[in-house]
């Protein structure tokens, strides 16, 4: 796989590594881009090729309109990612990215008969858990900004920069619409193992909501709680990458799951 192959694709690769035995596709949280995973390549073993997914509307896909519903978003990613599933692979998704990677896994199973060798879910409640929070994606601007402050995922310097926020608001609204209009449909459990990570101080996702992911696999399952709030993906990055590296090392010699 070359840099040319990644042009105009939702799939990025900051450091192509054809010799890697496994690919790790990463899905960002609401409002995030592939850039949040760029540093990971410096801490992952050489056996893993890092492939962050760029959601339309940001980063290299800034000119593409953002999706406001999960199903068409997942279909678009499935079409883009399928050519890169020619070696063992795993998915990692944080928050919104966890839901996207889960539904993508179900779509790939149905459409192509292939699954990741491992699914890493981070900071996201299990999909079958009802969302008790009122929707925010269609709130007036000031109320929407207040909710963003409560989530503590957008830097204050960005929230207070009106010019920057005018760029980010459509993306954030679209991402929250993706999450808030999602309707879970029951399907058989996945065949791939699932590892779930959560933040010990996360006020958005409880341990029980993380544990409920166990219902979504008939394979092995584990939960790891790390220091930090909902965005422990940054504050506990080293511990998180150690878990991912250790787990992926166990299956790097395998073929893609059936």
> Over the stretch 132-174, which tens digit does the pLDDT of each residue have?
889 999 999 999 988 888 876 676 667 778 887 888 899 999 9
Say what the pLDDT of residue 68 is: 97
Distances in Å between the Cα of 238 and the Cα atoms of 40, 58, 197, 222 are 9, 26, 13, 18
**Strands across the sheet containing 89-94:** 48-52, 22-27, 89-94, 118-122, 194-199, 221-226
Say what the pLDDT of residue 14 is: 87
Q: Is the pLDDT of residue 6 over 50?
A: no
In a domain, 216, yes or no: yes
In a domain, 152, yes or no: no
Q: What percent of the chain has pLDDT over 70?
A: 91
Say what the pLDDT of residue 132 is: 82
- The pTM assigned to this predicted structure is 0.92
Catalogue the active-site residues: 95
In a domain, 136, yes or no: no
Residue range 91-106: mean pLDDT, rounded: 98
The rounded mean pLDDT for the chain is 90
In a domain, 201, yes or no: yes
How many Å apart are CA 41 and CA 48, to the nearest integer?
A: 9
Say what the pLDDT of residue 163 is: 83
Residue whose C-alpha is closest to residue 10's, from 99, 80, 57 = 80
Residue range 22-34: mean pLDDT, rounded: 95
In a domain, 153, yes or no: no
Q: What percent of the chain has pLDDT over 90?
A: 75
Structural domain boundaries, residue 212: 3-130+183-251
Backbone Cα Rg of the chain: 17
CA torsion through residues 6, 32, 102, 215, sign: positive
- CATH number of the domain that residue 218 is part of: 3.40.50.1820
Task: List, in sequence order, every residue forming a beta bridge with 221; answer none if it has no partner.
Answer: 194
Say what the pLDDT of residue 252 is: 55
Question: What do you get for the CA distance between the two ends of the chain, in Å?
Answer: 23
In a domain, 162, yes or no: no
In a domain, 64, yes or no: yes
Residue range 41-63: mean pLDDT, rounded: 93
Total structural domains in the chain? 1
pLDDT band, residue 257 (cuts 50/70/90): very low
Q: Is the pLDDT of residue 110 over 80?
A: yes
In a domain, 147, yes or no: no
């Amino acid at each position: 796989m070359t840099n040319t192959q990644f042009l105009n694709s939702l799939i990025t690769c900051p450091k192509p590594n054809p010799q890697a035995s496994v690919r790790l596709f990463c899905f960002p949280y609401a409002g995030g881009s592939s850039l949040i995973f760029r540093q990971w390549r410096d801490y992952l073993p050489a056996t893993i090729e890092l492939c962050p997914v760029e959601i339309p509307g940001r980063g290299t896909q800034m000119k593409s309109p953002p999706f406001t519903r999960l199903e068409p978003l997942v279909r678009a990613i499935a079409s883009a990612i399928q050519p890169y599933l020619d070696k063992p692979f795993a998915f990692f998704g944080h928050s919104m990215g966890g839901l996207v990677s889960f539904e993508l896994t179900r779509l790939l199973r149905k459409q192509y008969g292939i699954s990741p060798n491992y699914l890493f879910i981070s900071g996201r409640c299990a999909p079958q858990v009802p969302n008790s929070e009122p929707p925010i994606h269609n709130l007036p601007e000031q109320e929407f900004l207040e909710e963003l402050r409560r989530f503590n995922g957008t830097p204050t310097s960005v929230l207070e920069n009106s010019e920057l926020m005018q760029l980010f608001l459509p993306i954030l609204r679209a991402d929250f619409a993706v999450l808030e209009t999602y309707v879970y449909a029951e399907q058989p459990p996945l065949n791939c193992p699932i590892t779930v990570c959560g933040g010990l101080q996360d006020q958005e996702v409880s341990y029980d909501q993380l544990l409920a992911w166990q219902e979504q696999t008939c394979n092995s399952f584990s939960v790891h709680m790390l220091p930090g709030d909902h965005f422990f993906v940054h504050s506990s990055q080293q511990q998180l990458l150690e878990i991912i590296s250790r787990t992926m090392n166990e299956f790097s010699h395998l073929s893609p799951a059936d």
